[in-house]
């Protein structure tokens, strides 16, 4: 069964993480994603990661995380030839996603209005820091900056250690998923109207989506969020020190807290309402601290799971990736190692399976310009035209890295 987006043509003119990750999600579902690489100004993530040899070859691990299933064409969009090629590619494209500064592509004659004349069915997605319009539209930003200015850092960490950014670039990846969802929505609407449209997506807005419950609590009840570390309003949720490590307990609802206290031999601690649980937080926490200190985190994890209480010991990434559940789900899939190295490496694909056409990796992340000639030929350019584009520096091709 074909995957959801097979037959879809996506032009990916994005860089760093959020935009490329959005295009990657379309690619693992079968879309033909053509990544536009700048010939002599590589995407900065191509040079980021712990492996210096890969960084020097513009194949850094940060790029590899969302580069699979794409084809690469090296184009200089500031040149007339590069713009001519892009317009040719957009004539029969379904999606164009870009994250240049607002107005930058429009100044080159590549804005939404320009491309809609070429292809009225095109879904044109612009990802920017603050959106197209408003007092901050001209500003740029990165994941860590958005975590800072959104209030996310201010509520992360403990009262003593805050503010802290999250260990993972959650804003970038959340923005990528929101972008993929917005594009999917526009494609669905196009099935009804026959017309494409412009999507204006802002990373600042996406960051606020991650704090929806906090925004509601502040707006409705005036509650200003503060850093609470691993403490929750209910003692049945939170981190507890065990004999050898930390256990994260998740007895969130009323049924789970009943199972928790019965399993621990303390039915007297069961409460009838969440309000009672909140009021007795200190007493419950003291009892749980004393009990959990008596056994290892792994012991408690297994014991509580047997009694239907969510719990897990705090693990390293290495331990998490060894979980047999991942192999069963296929969340991580193999792709050939870069630079001609032997073996393969794993990348995260998608968090869902489909009964027909699940996301999959079919080809490794390309090096810059790996498919330039192939893509130009597919767009109708002759050998002589391709040679002129390459000679003029508007395009670049590399047969191998």
| Three state DSSP letters for 112-162 | HHHHHHHCCCCEEEEEECCCCCCCCCCCCCCHHHHHHHCCCHHHCCCCCCC
Is residue 399 pLDDT above 90, yes or no? Answer: no
Q: 74 has which bridge partners?
A: 37, 396
pLDDT computed for residue 118 by the predictor: 96
Measured between alpha carbons, how far is 329 from 310 in angstroms, rounded to an integer? 20
pLDDT computed for residue 170 by the predictor: 97
Measured between alpha carbons, how far is 177 from 21 in angstroms, rounded to an integer? 8
Write down the pTM of the prediction.
0.94
Q: DSSP string spanning 190-214?
A: HHHHS---EEEEEHHHHHHHTTHHH
How confident is residue 400, by pLDDT bands cut at 50, 70 and 90?
Answer: confident
Calculate mean pLDDT across residues 66-91. Answer: 97
Peptide linkage before 163 cis (omega within 30 of 0): yes
pLDDT computed for residue 388 by the predictor: 97
Residues forming the active site: 172
Measured between alpha carbons, how far is 352 from 218 in angstroms, rounded to an integer? 33
Task: Determine the distance from the C-alpha atom of residue 60 to the mean position of all C-alpha atoms in its chain, rounded to a whole number.
Answer: 17
Mean pLDDT of the chain: 96
Calculate mean pLDDT across residues 18-31. Answer: 98
Total H helices, total E strands in the chain: 17, 12
Is residue 101 pLDDT above 90, yes or no? Answer: yes
Report the phi/psi class of residue 106: left, alpha or beta, with left for phi > 0 and alpha for psi in -120 to 50.
Answer: alpha
Place of tokens 């210096």: 52
Q: b/e for 167-199, b at 16 or more Cβ within 10 A?
A: eebbbbbbbbbbbbebbbebbeebeeeeebbbb
Kindly state the tokens that stand for 72. 């690469």
Calculate mean pLDDT across residues 323-344. Answer: 93
- Domains belonging to the chain, first-starting first, are 9-210+330-396 (3.40.50.10540), 237-319 (3.30.1540.10)
Calculate mean pLDDT across residues 31-57. Answer: 96
Calculate mean pLDDT across residues 29-34. Answer: 98
What are the tens digits of pLDDT across the range 192-220? 999 999 999 999 999 999 999 999 999 99
pLDDT computed for residue 401 by the predictor: 75
Calculate mean pLDDT across residues 297-316. Answer: 97
Calculate mean pLDDT across residues 46-53. Answer: 97
């Amino acid at each position: 069964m074909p995957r959801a987006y097979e037959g879809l043509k996506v032009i990916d003119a994005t860089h760093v993480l959020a935009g490329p990750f959005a295009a990657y999600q379309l690619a693992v579902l079968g879309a033909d994603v053509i990544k536009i690489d700048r010939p002599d100004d590589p995407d900065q993530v191509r040079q980021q990661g712990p492996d210096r040899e890969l960084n020097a070859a513009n194949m850094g691990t940060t790029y590899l995380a969302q580069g699979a299933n794409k084809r690469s064409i090296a184009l200089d969009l500031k040149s007339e030839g590069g713009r001519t090629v892009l317009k040719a590619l957009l004539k029969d494209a379904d999606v164009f996603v870009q994250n240049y500064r607002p107005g930058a592509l429009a100044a080159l004659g590549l804005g939404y209005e320009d491309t809609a004349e070429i292809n009225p069915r095109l879904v044109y997605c612009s990802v920017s820091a603050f959106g197209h319009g408003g007092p901050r539209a001209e500003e740029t930003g990165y994941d860590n900056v958005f975590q800072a200015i959104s209030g996310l850092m201010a509520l992360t960490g403990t009262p003593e250690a805050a503010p802290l950014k999250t260990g993972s670039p959650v804003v970038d990846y959340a923005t990528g998923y929101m972008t993929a969802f917005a594009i999917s929505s526009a494609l669905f609407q196009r099935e009804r109207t026959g017309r494409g449209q412009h999507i204006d997506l802002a990373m600042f807005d996406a960051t606020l989506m991650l704090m929806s419950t906090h925004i509601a609590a502040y707006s409705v009840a005036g509650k200003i969020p503060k850093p609470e570390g691993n403490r929750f309003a209910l003692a049945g949720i939170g981190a507890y020190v065990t004999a050898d490590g930390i256990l994260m307990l998740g007895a969130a609802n009323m049924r789970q807290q009943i199972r928790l206290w019965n399993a621990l031999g303390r039915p007297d601690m069961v409460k009838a309402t969440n309000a009672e649980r909140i009021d007795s937080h200190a007493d419950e926490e003291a009892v749980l601290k004393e009990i959990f200190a008596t056994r290892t985190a792994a012991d408690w994890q297994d014991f509580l799971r047997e009694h239907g209480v969510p719990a897990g010991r705090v693990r390293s990434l290495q331990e998490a990736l060894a979980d047999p559940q991942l192999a069963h789900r296929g969340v991580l899939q193999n792709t050939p190692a870069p630079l001609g190295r032997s073996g393969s490496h794993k990348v995260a694909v998608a968090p869902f399976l489909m009964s027909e056409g699940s996301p999959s990796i079919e080809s490794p992340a390309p090096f810059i310009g790996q498919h330039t000639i192939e893509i130009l030929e597919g767009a109708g350019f002759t050998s002589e035209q391709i040679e002129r584009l390459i000679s003029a520096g508007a395009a670049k091709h590399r047969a191998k890295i």
